[in-house]
Structure 1
Amino acid sequence: MTTLTHRLRPTIRVRLTLIYGLLFLAGGIVMLVLTYVLLKNNLRSSVSVATRHMDPATIPGGPEAPPKEMIFGSSPDRLITAGEASGVLVQSQVSFQRETLNSLLTLGSVALAVVTAAALGLGWLFADRALRPLHRITETARRVARSHDLTERIAYAGPRDDVKELADTLDTMLERLARAFDGQRRFVANASHELRTPLAINRTLVDVALRRPDPSEDVKRLGEALLVVNGRHERLIDGLLTLAGSENTVVDTSPLDLADVAGHVLGQAAAEAAARGITARRDLGHAPTSGDPVLIERLVQNLVENAIRHNHQGGELSVTTRGDGGQAELIVTNTGPVVPPYEIETIFEPFRRLGTDRVHSDRGSGLGLSIVRATATAHGGIVTAHPRPGGGLTVIVRLPAANRHSHPADGHRGRTPG
């Protein structure tokens, strides 16, 4: 009901047109009423003057005038008195007054309706002209949102009014956003170097220490523990940098097929799935879209790794891609622990995991699904999830579909065990 009400709400142009028309109609009605009252009073005064002039008491000789004051009536054979003539004249004046007022109301109403319709048409045109600066602001904001080019400005050169103030405010906001995104990109680039380099050095030193010919058992256990911790820190930093990068604008996009990306990722994860006895099934249909290939691959990789990591021994994994209604869909379903419905949204938050998984360092960094949602949002898509009956999770990614083009037959992409 709320959506229907929102759709039926008239636009500001329609509202302005109706306001113009209603104001003109109200003014016309007031003018018509005033004209009616003034004309009615004027005609009433005319009738009173005519009656007074035709009063028998004012006629020479009075009401008992001699026969010479008799005048002809409707026929030569009928004579009427001056008093009767006065009554006839009064009735004629009253009838004339009534017909004149009725004609005024009828013709005035018709004219008011015609002029109001013309006022509505002119109001529609004037409203469009008045809203043209706002349309320009909206088009510029839409271009910036689609192209992610924060260097573009509205640069409105109109008079100093409310529209000019709005345009200047939006230009100031775009300038601040551009500086903020530039600073974030520089931070990501610097953090990528400053954080990864020490961890790479630590990993190398620990690996060299473990490769010595005579390390003690304590040194081996300590080195292996340090490598695990160091590897988790590397994954954490890599996930944070990817999350920060995916939340920025996607500049480099190219056509790709989710089926090809999913097939490549499943091939890389086949060994890990087999080691845990997980049966991977694929139904990779044609799903063309466009985006950053690296980020899209990371999105699919995070979903597949999450489905394997949070699965049970001997479980199942299903990956489906398809094009549906102008969208490219990726569906990843896995068996595993029961996911409460109220926990669905929390698993997409950074560092949020289900149950006691947050205490296990080998279960990832807690950024996998956060990166998936951020990447999909940066590409204009959405991510939804719902619990799988019997345990596990189904995650659906919908991205805008690219224009359909010729593609090889998809017969080899049937449902087969991984």
Structure 2
Amino acid sequence: MTQHSDDLHQRLMMLRDTVFASWMTAVREQVRFAHELPAPLLLDTLPIFYEQLCSVASGEIFNYRQSTLASEHGGERARLTGYDVETVAHELQLFRSVLFTTWGNAGFAISRDQAARLNSLIDEAIRESITGFILSKAAAREQFSTAAVHDIRAQLSAAAMAVDHLLEGQQTEASRELGALASQRLARIGSMLSEMLDMSMICPPATDTPELQWLDLHDVLLGVVRSSTAASRVNVMATAVHGFWHRDSISKAIENLISNAVEYSDPGTPITAMLRCYGGRVALSITNEGPPIPPDRIEAIFQLYKRTAMKGEGGWQIGLPFVRSVAEQHAGSIAVECRHGATTFIFDSPIDPRPILMARMRR
């Protein structure tokens, strides 16, 4: 951006607190269920979205198809609030109104072209938030599969024993071949069910509340980086950030994000780990340089039971679904952005998620 654009961006960013104070007042008055939500949960990922809007107003091009920020916002609303689809759209429409009003009152004249680009971005965010909301609701129904696995495995075990018994008796060549094929298929199905069960154990439901500790997230991040085989490639840009997190799960989540960045980055390129605090929340971002994630695969990488097709991997991939699970257990979210030849994963959570988790348990 030019110097003029940088100055405009900075001046708009100085209005952030005013925008969100006005927006929270309007939302608590006009949106169902919002008045019950604590400020960090109500803000969610919107402060990062505000930064993007300031960049667009300053002339930067932003393609929302290469970001999951809005869909994660909708997903959090589905998991942590009593919102419905209409409510998700309503609060973002209020955000649009407050944004333009506040900027106008501060003397910033938005051109017709700027307004069109901002409105387009907000409209896309509304659509993506609704999509994320619907997908999250659908994912909740998939929890049924975990319980079903146990019953199916019991039936498979009985069927496998029957096939083995048949194979031990007198058989024709054809029946022997069919019995062997049935045995192989049963073994394969049993293996797949075991993998599904393992994933459900590794990624417990978001309603499970972890035991949180008072930690310095900067120290946790440094510890994970130092133990990584790619430590020399990771640049840490952070200072002390104290809050409440579950040390083991947050460490494993960071480890997965760094491993993912290493695997999909261009060889020898740096990886950046950054911590930022805003509005009672912290955003941990891990950025790598390399080919972007195809837009049609961005959401799929966070979904359980999705087989991957990049770099020829096989099996069930559990790293990023695990990270999402950890984020949700801390009343947070995980988003990804692909911009300017770099991919950034953003782990966002309240500095103190305990009030939100307690409220969620009472629902």
Q: TM-score, normalised by structure 2?
A: 0.42
Q: TM-score, normalised by structure 1?
A: 0.37
Greater radius of gyration (CA): 1
The structure whose RCO (Cα within 8 Å, separation 6+) is larger is 2
